[in-house]
Chains A and B, each alone.
Chain A
Amino acid sequence: GNSVTQMEGPVTLSEEAFLTINCTYTATGYPSLFWYVQYPGEGLQLLLKATKADDKGSNKGFEATYRKETTSFHLEKGSVQVSDSAVYFCALITGNQFYFGTGTSLTVIP
């Protein structure tokens, strides 16, 4: 079946550290891939997306590349800030259905 697996949290980093949150997927067909973010006290919001293999989504310094050969969509940021503290969800759409990972909590300390 279709599913998304993302790395377990919580993740704690110091400000300006490099961030990677791993996400792998299993899907039939050609899924679109997404990263959603939920900041404390706020609703989920779309961070970035990629709709086909080798596409790179980017936003707010975050990047993720759709890797079909490794079925991955890892989220990266070169230098995190305290304001990046949030829960990050990897997701895919295939067959007109949404599948989400369980979320990874990130805390950035000054």
Chain B
Amino acid sequence: KAGVTQTPRYLIKTRGQQVTLSCSPISGHRSVSWYQQTPGQGLQFLFEYFSETQRNKGNFPGRFSGRQFSNSRSEMNVSTLELGDSALYLCASSPGTGIYQPQHFGDGTRLSIL
């Protein structure tokens, strides 16, 4: 069974640009959650999608948004990039809704802002 797939693996952008990251969950999983990992802040929860609806949201500004498609694939968008957005962005999937479910993580997208 294929795991959670995130694309691209690495990305370099400049301040002010916008970026879209993609996540394909494990087949059959309907929930997708996004996390930001930085050395200073550690892992922080961004949001969770289930059945194309955002179910839970962390404490991030509105520049961070996401969506989920009918096939459960999810995208995360960050607009007006700032230097502090440089991070590893992780996606996780689970069979049911709610972050209490065991999360299966992808390898992440490393985003660098110049």
- Closest B residue, CB atoms, query A45: B105
Is B16 an interface residue, CB under 8 A from the partner?
no
> Chain B residues near A42 (CB, 8 Å)?
107
* Most chain B beta-carbon neighbours within 10 Å: one of A42, A43, A91, A100: A43
A96:B104 contact, CB within 8 angstroms: no
Is A62 an interface residue, CB under 8 A from the partner?
no
B45:A98 contact, CB within 8 angstroms: yes
Secondary structure class of chain A's binding surface, majority of residues = strand
Q: Tell me the complex Cα distance, A51–B58, Å.
A: 21
> Chain B residues near A103 (CB, 8 Å)?
42-43
- Closest B residue, CB atoms, query A100: B43
Count of interface residues, chain B, beta-carbon cutoff 8 Å: 26
Binary CB contact string for chain B from 68 to 79 against chain A (1 if under 8 A, 0 otherwise): 000000000000
> Chain B residues near A96 (CB, 8 Å)?
55-56, 98-99
Given known contacts A32-B100, A46-B102, A102 and B42 CB-to-CB distance under 8 angstroms: yes
Q: Tell me the complex Cα distance, A93–B101, Å.
A: 11
Is B90 an interface residue, CB under 8 A from the partner?
yes
Binary CB contact string for chain A from 81 to 110 against chain B (1 if under 8 A, 0 otherwise): 000000001010100111111110000000
> Chain A residues near B59 (CB, 8 Å)?
97
Give B57-108 interface residues, CB cut-off 8 Å to A.
Answer: 58-59, 90, 92, 98-100, 102-108
B45:A99 contact, CB within 8 angstroms: yes
- Closest B residue, CB atoms, query A95: B56
Is A17 an interface residue, CB under 8 A from the partner?
no
Q: What distance in Å separates the Cβ of A104 from its nearest Cβ neighbour in chain B?
A: 11
Is B21 an interface residue, CB under 8 A from the partner?
no
> Chain A residues near B3 (CB, 8 Å)?
43
Binding site for A on B (CB under 8 A): 3-4, 33, 35, 39, 41-45, 55-56, 58-59, 90, 92, 98-100, 102-108
